């Protein structure tokens, strides 16, 4: 049965429009910490007179008058929920003969792809996720610097290695010396020291301290020496680009992404030694619970067979993937890339990432020729990936036979709606709510890759890479026009 076109959902009633939006969002699955929760919160926050109206604004930014027909999230979500019901060739078969109707897409995209704002080198790929058929391509196998769109590959590799329900452990174990305990980092990027954890947070130092204090008091211990073990990761903690407000030093024991303030996303200067700061925070929490910590926390090595006194678990991997993609979280990306390396028998380092991610993606049956995964976040300009690989991975994530990869799609920001796409193809754009995509931005590099529901209800995967762009704003507008053209071309 063909999917309902979003622009056919006429908002004749603001109340009905709100109910439809909430119901459609709720149908997309359980609410984790990332994209789906953001969509639910946004839908629930719409006022009865606001809905999806993009008309004149009244007090507080609320639209005035009756809502006008406008696209919103239902087109995206129904496209995802309808995947399992669709038939055709197996997804991911890039390179197959293009079906009828692709000539119109090529006619629409070629002049837009020639925009000088896209720099000297640009590549594109558009495929039907249900059949794997190529609808449009331009240099689809040319490996280019992808910026943050590489997080799609990082997500797919991590899910293939560990599965969406996997959780990372932060533990406290007895130390080798009498009266010593060791805080052991398990590489949980959701670990927080906040007494009021952020929504959807995972590992809690507060809960871990409470459980540890209870175990110590039960054993008659009221004073300890505190060591900390962050040896799970190896190699340099600093990214090759050096200190950067977009990424903390990568350690296996980091609370709140090494942020010294109350922020949860966006650039901010990070602490110099996240492991030490996390151990200090844990020591303070123990003291609040009646356990005296003698001296300053010091590095130590936990015994491999030590029985934990207490444990706290991360957000499930699927939720971490969604948050990473929605907010383009570099800290989560680097942590998950290292976890992929460790799960693949490689060291938890930048060197291990390069070997493991490529191997995991090849194991999914996609072509990784010419690729390089120098990091997991896309901050490294040495990264190389092709548009053909990106669309193949998105098609794999859409494959009903690959449900473990679905967070790759559900985590993508929605145009005009959530995350890094909230302000792009928004407002009166006919593509608002129809495009779900990961952005990528470095100086002179701009990219966009994701999915879109076309006028016939097909879920398409697209990827656009541009190099040597003269300016961010112009390049982003050009990429948005291309994505919008995919959404509205039959």
Residues tagged active-site: 148, 151, 328
The encoded tokens of residue 279 equal 């151990």
Query: From its phi and psi, is residue 235 left (phi > 0), alpha (psi between -120 and 50) or beta?
Result: left
CB-based contact 52:72 (threshold 8 Å): yes
Which residues lie closer than 8 Å to 303 by C-beta, 6 or more apart? Answer: 173, 176
Yes or no: say if 159 and 404 are a contact pair by the CB < 8 Å rule. yes
Beta-bridge partners for 463: 125, 449
Question: What are the DSSP calls for 253-320, one per residue?
Answer: S-SGGG-SSS--SS--PPPS-HHHHHHHHHHHHHHHTT-EE-S--EE----TTPPPSEEEEPPPHHHH
Enter the tokens of residue 465. Answer: 């890479």
Question: Are residues 293 and 224 in contact, defined by beta-carbon separation less than 8 angstroms?
Answer: yes
DSSP string, 129-180: TTT-BEEEEESTT--B--GGGGHHHHHHHHHHHH-TT---EEEEEE-SSTTE
DSSP state of 223: E
**Exposed (0-12), middle (13-18) or buried (19+): which is 219, by Cβ within 10 Å?**
exposed
Instruction: For the beta carbon of residue 474, count every other beta carbon within 10 angstroms.
Output: 16
The DSSP result for 423-449, as a single string, is TSS-TT-TTTTTEEEEEEEETTEEEEE
């Amino acid at each position: 049965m063909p999917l309902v076109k979003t622009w056919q959902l006429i908002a004749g009633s603001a109340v009905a429009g709100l109910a439809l939006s909430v119901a459609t969002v709720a149908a997309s699955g359980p609410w984790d910490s990332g994209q789906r929760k953001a969509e639910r919160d946004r839908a629930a926050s719409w006022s009865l007179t606001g809905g999806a109206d993009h008309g004149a604004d009244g007090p507080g930014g609320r639209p005035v008058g009756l809502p006008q027909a406008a696209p919103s999230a239902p087109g995206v979500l129904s496209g995802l929920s309808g995947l399992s019901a669709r038939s055709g060739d197996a997804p991911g078969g890039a390179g197959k003969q293009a079906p009828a109707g692709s000539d119109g897409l090529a006619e629409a995209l070629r002049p837009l792809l020639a925009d000088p704002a896209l720099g000297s080198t640009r590549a594109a790929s558009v495929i039907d996720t249900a059949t794997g058929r190529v609808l449009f391509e331009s240099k689809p196998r040319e490996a280019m610097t992808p910026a943050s769109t590489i997080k799609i590959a990082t997500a797919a590799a991590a899910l293939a290695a560990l599965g969406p329900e996997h959780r990372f452990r932060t533990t406290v174990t007895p130390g080798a010396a009498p009266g010593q305990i060791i805080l052991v980092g398990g590489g949980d990027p959701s670990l927080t020291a906040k007494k009021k954890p952020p929504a959807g947070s995972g590992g809690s130092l507060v809960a871990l301290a409470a459980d540890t204090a209870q175990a110590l008091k039960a054993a008659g211990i009221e004073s300890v020496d505190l060591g900390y073990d962050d040896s799970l990761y190896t190699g340099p903690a600093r990214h090759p680009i050096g200190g950067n407000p977009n990424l903390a030093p990568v350690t296996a024991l980091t609370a709140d992404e090494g942020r010294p303030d109350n922020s949860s996303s966006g650039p901010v200067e990070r602490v110099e030694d996240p492991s030490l700061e996390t151990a200090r925070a844990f020591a303070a929490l123990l003291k609040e619970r009646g356990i005296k910590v003698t001296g300053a926390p010091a590095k130590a090595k936990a015994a491999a067979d030590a029985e934990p006194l207490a444990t706290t678990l991360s957000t499930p991997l699927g939720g971490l993937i969604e948050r990473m993609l929605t907010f383009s979280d570099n800290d989560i990306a680097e942590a998950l890339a290292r976890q992929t390396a460790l799960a693949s028998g490689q060291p938890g380092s930048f060197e291990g990432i390069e070997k493991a991610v490529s191997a995991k993606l090849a194991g999914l049956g996609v072509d990784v020729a010419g690729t390089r995964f120098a990091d997991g976040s896309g901050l490294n300009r040495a990264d190389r990936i092709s548009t053909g690989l990106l669309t193949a991975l998105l098609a794999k994530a859409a494959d009903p036979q690959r449900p473990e990869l679905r967070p790759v799609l559900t985590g993508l920001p929605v145009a005009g709606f959530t995350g890094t796409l909230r302000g792009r193809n928004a407002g009166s754009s006919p593509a608002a709510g129809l495009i779900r995509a990961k952005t990528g931005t470095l100086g002179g590099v701009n990219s966009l890759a994701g999915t879109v529901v076309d006028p016939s209800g097909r879920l398409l995967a697209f990827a656009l890479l541009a190099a040597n762009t003269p300016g961010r704003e112009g390049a982003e507008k050009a990429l948005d026009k291309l994505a919008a053209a995919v959404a509205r071309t039959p």
